[in-house]
Structure 1
Amino acid sequence: MTDTTKPKRYRMVSKYYKEVYGEKVYKLPVALPLTCPNRDGVAGVGGCTFCGEIGAGYENRPAWMTVDMQLEENIAHIGPKYKAKKFIPYYQNFSNTYLPLHDFQSYIEAGCIDSAVGIAIATRPDCIADEYLDVLQDIKERYKKDIYIELGLQTVNYHTLKKINRGHDLAQFIDAVLRIKRYGFNITTHMIINLPWDTMEDTIEGSKILSSLGVDQVKLHALYIVKNTLMAKWYEEGQFTLISAEEYAERAVQFVRHLHPDIVLQRLVGRAPEDNTLFTNWSMGWWRVQDLIDNRLDELDAYQGDLCDYLNGKSVRKFIE
């Protein structure tokens, strides 16, 4: 089991929340009745090859419930369990800006409850437009809530982006980040660092690109093979193999070491229900994978950002140092 008392060699989100809000803050998952543009034909069909019919929200309440109902139930569960008083409603499932502007505004305003310190919105790079950011700016000013936008990227390898049917390219991700930064909103990027077509070099380059763009937070996780997906079909047919847990830990370590030290890490490994997957975290508890990463960092005496030496004109440093 992961030692939660041991100091981390990277900047974790729990510490960040305490620094910003003075106490622990918990996310409250919210599901909306929507989809993604790479499912309905606008950017593609079938969705991401790894994504199941319910999307990413395994712990969400049903999307037919109102936002108020979902938040009320989640607070009733999370509040007493963790003695939590501050929350961030997290619009998690599918692409939460893929809505008519008026509907988008109404759904986000519904999450601006008194105990919410911010609003988190998961979406795709090709679903970021200034008009939606204007709505969020207005909500931020009127309701005094911080805005967190979470962008699924998964990989910086544009060949892999096509292979997994993301329906957007790296340029669209860069455009989305630059637009969001003009509004000053907090940006999180989701990355899968063991996609079968990616290498260690892709992992390191991903860390460098996110650092260069100045994203605020990162979520890493290992690929889940969800049942009844195209990825599951490829997996069962033996069209690819997955790296070992030890190699995943090596990639995570290199990602962390090349990541700018100011960037917050929300997680280094994720969780998914095993009964809905063919492969999840090498059939071991997520904390065991976390331990592999932490132990490897200890062995190397390595820290977040200790290899982040590539920014601000590395080659001309000899003339100015």
Structure 2
Amino acid sequence: MYYSYSEYLKEKYGQKVYKLPVNLPVSCPNRKEGAGCSFCADEGTGFEAADSMETVNGQLKSSREKVEKRYHAKRFIAYFQNYTNTFLPLEQLMAYMREAGNVDNIVEICLSTRPDCIRRDYLEAMADFREKTGIQVSLELGLQTVNYHTLRAVNRGHGLAEFLDAVLTIAPYHFPVCVHMILNLPGDTMEDAKEAAKILSALPVSMVKLHSLYIPKKSVLYQEYRNGRISICAKEEYLERLAEFIALLRPDIAVERLFARIPEKDSAFCNWGHSWWKLMDEWKALMEEKQYVQGIHCDYLNGAALNRWGL
């Protein structure tokens, strides 16, 4: 039905690989320069990770012990997940990466960041790290939506151009890119979801992570939600958007996540009051009803008009 991230990792590494979350003592330019994204709150940057004041080594070893015990895992990805991990002096970032790389059985480091925090000297240093250690590096870019009106409304602090520039700048270094998307931000429509799938498919993107919108209680968006200034699409509409997105998505792009997964106590709105696995069951039933699989409608690349006319 869709190409899962777990399948992607198993193909890449020949076995199951598990992510270990790491929180660095880092912020975000959008928070430094203003209020930050309207949907963001401290808790939303890493529900599963340890305190950012704990060492990288300590965080990884603590998480690894739990995962090893529960899943008998042998290979791990160090996931630098909170805020903007390239919003650090380069040498400081590389020191954190080296610390993570020295932990046993780390095969990859994944860095979550913003499109406007990608620069060639950082990529050069990451490529050098990969060559010297043999540890892979991947980058997760937060885009959220391709609608520039919505990007402005949620105060992302960047537009689509910065995202395109980041992906194309990363491409020559062959770092897998994961794109973080929210298909039901206030103001977005089905057409935005479809266009997002097409834009990602036309770019050198390896993975996508989809979150249904959740509203942290300590976010700016919560105030707008509480005062009735925004509306959120119905659950059924989100499932339809998700189905169309996956149908249009290039078949070789791995899907890491489809729904938000956060503690209920931290959120004023999440998944329409349903568990993520219940929504997953409903979405799979919808996909079967539509006879959809990932990429079934990905026929718009490589000279689509020429292909339609048999030229």
Equivalent position amino acid for 2:145 in 1: T
1:31 — aligned with what? Answer: 23
Deviation readout 1:86-131 (Å, 9 max, x if unpaired): 0000000000000001101101111113301111000000000001
Partners of 1:80 and 1:55 in 2: how far apart? Answer: 27
Displacement, 1:54?
Answer: 3.7
Aligned residues: 310
Contact 2:214 2:260 in 1 (8 A): no
Secondary structure at the counterpart of residue 30 of structure 2: coil
Partners of 2:225 and 2:118 in 1: how far apart? Answer: 32
Partners of 1:238 and 1:34 in 2: how far apart? Answer: 33
Deviation readout 1:16-41 (Å, 9 max, x if unpaired): 11111111110000000010000111
Deviation readout 1:274-300 (Å, 9 max, x if unpaired): 111101111111101111211111111
Secondary structure at the counterpart of residue 218 of structure 1: strand
Query: What is the 5 A alignment of 1:272-311?
Result: 272-311=262-301
Query: What is the 5 A alignment of 1:183-202?
Result: 183-202=173-192
Pick one of 239, 262, 265 that aligns with 1:249: 239
Partners of 2:218 and 2:60 in 1: how far apart? Answer: 30
1:3 — aligned with what? Answer: none
Equivalent position amino acid for 1:24 in 2: K
1:101 — aligned with what? Answer: 90
Contact 2:198 2:248 in 1 (8 A): yes
1:205 — aligned with what? Answer: 195
Identity over aligned pairs, percent: 46
- The question of 1:266 aligning with 2:256 is answered yes
Contact 2:260 2:270 in 1 (8 A): no
Equivalent position amino acid for 1:92 in 2: Q
Contact 2:3 2:254 in 1 (8 A): yes
Partners of 2:207 and 2:84 in 1: how far apart? Answer: 19
2:52 — aligned with what? Answer: 63
Partners of 1:190 and 1:247 in 2: how far apart? Answer: 20
Displacement, 1:228?
Answer: 2.0
1:13 — aligned with what? Answer: 5
- The question of 1:80 aligning with 2:72 is answered no
Contact 2:26 2:85 in 1 (8 A): yes
TM-score, normalization by structure 2: 0.98
2:104 — aligned with what? Answer: 114
Partners of 2:290 and 2:143 in 1: how far apart? Answer: 29
Pick one of 154, 161, 169 that aligns with 2:159: 169
Equivalent position amino acid for 2:250 in 1: H
Displacement, 1:219?
Answer: 0.4
- Deviation >3 Å, runs of 4+: 318-321
Equivalent position amino acid for 1:85 in 2: K
1:138 — aligned with what? Answer: 128
Contact 1:18 1:25 in 2 (8 A): yes
Equivalent position amino acid for 2:81 in 1: Q
Secondary structure at the counterpart of residue 121 of structure 1: strand
- The question of 1:90 aligning with 2:90 is answered no
Partners of 2:71 and 2:116 in 1: how far apart? Answer: 36
Structure 1 alignment gaps of length 5 or more: 1-8
Contact 2:207 2:256 in 1 (8 A): yes
Equivalent position amino acid for 1:88 in 2: I
Secondary structure at the counterpart of residue 54 of structure 2: coil
Partners of 1:120 and 1:283 in 2: how far apart? Answer: 31
Contact 2:43 2:266 in 1 (8 A): no
Displacement, 1:55?
Answer: 4.1
Partners of 2:110 and 2:303 in 1: how far apart? Answer: 34
Partners of 2:272 and 2:4 in 1: how far apart? Answer: 24
Contact 2:186 2:232 in 1 (8 A): yes
Please report the RMSD computed on the Cα atoms of aligned residues, expressed in angstroms: 1.0
Secondary structure at the counterpart of residue 137 of structure 1: helix
Partners of 1:54 and 1:11 in 2: how far apart? Answer: 29
Equivalent position amino acid for 1:76 in 2: E
- The question of 1:223 aligning with 2:213 is answered yes
Partners of 1:139 and 1:146 in 2: how far apart? Answer: 9
2:225 — aligned with what? Answer: 235
